[in-house]
Amino acid sequence: MKRLVLPALLALAAPGCMHSRASLIKPDEEASKCALVQTLMQEQVPQQLLAGLAADGRDAPSQVLVFVRRPEEAMLERLFAGDEPKCGGPNYSVVQTSTTDAVVLFLQPRVGGYIYDAVRAAPDELSLGGEAKGAIMKNEGGAWVSSSI
């Protein structure tokens, strides 16, 4: 009898443990992340970077990479978990890897939001970013509000 119980328990437990990372992503979390990026992309520095890419004749939409910096843990991670984020605007699209010059947003968590930096970089020229260009926080209504520094 004991021999039948263990295989039966394993058979029941296995499907519950075998989820891909993408299946654990909640759609509302990705939508909130996209709203965050869309708010930041309306700021002066990211708009200037997009204009520079367009002036250089880059194909539209421009690519945007988004990373979260965690200096206290010496970590840099992607904001979006999926392979192809469904986020963009009229002249840009968020990607996980860049194939050409792109706008790169660096977010660093702060209480209630993030401070951010935005730079233009080629795929082989990515750095950890520079000084903060602004801050973004959620207001009482739950919408992202940004301000330049």
- Omega of the bond leading into 27 within 30 degrees of 0 (cis): no
Token code pair at residue 16: 């519950």
Q: What is the pLDDT of residue 76?
A: 85
CB 102 within 8 Å of CB 95: yes
In this prediction, residue 73 carries a pLDDT of: 85
pTM: 0.78
Cβ-based neighbour number of residue 115 at 10 Å: 18
Instruction: Give pLDDT, residue 27.
Output: 67
| One pLDDT digit (tens) per residue for the chain, 149 residues | 444 433 333 333 344 433 334 444 466 788 899 999 999 999 999 999 999 999 998 878 999 999 999 888 888 899 998 788 899 999 999 999 998 999 999 999 999 899 999 999 988 887 766 788 889 999 988 899 988 87
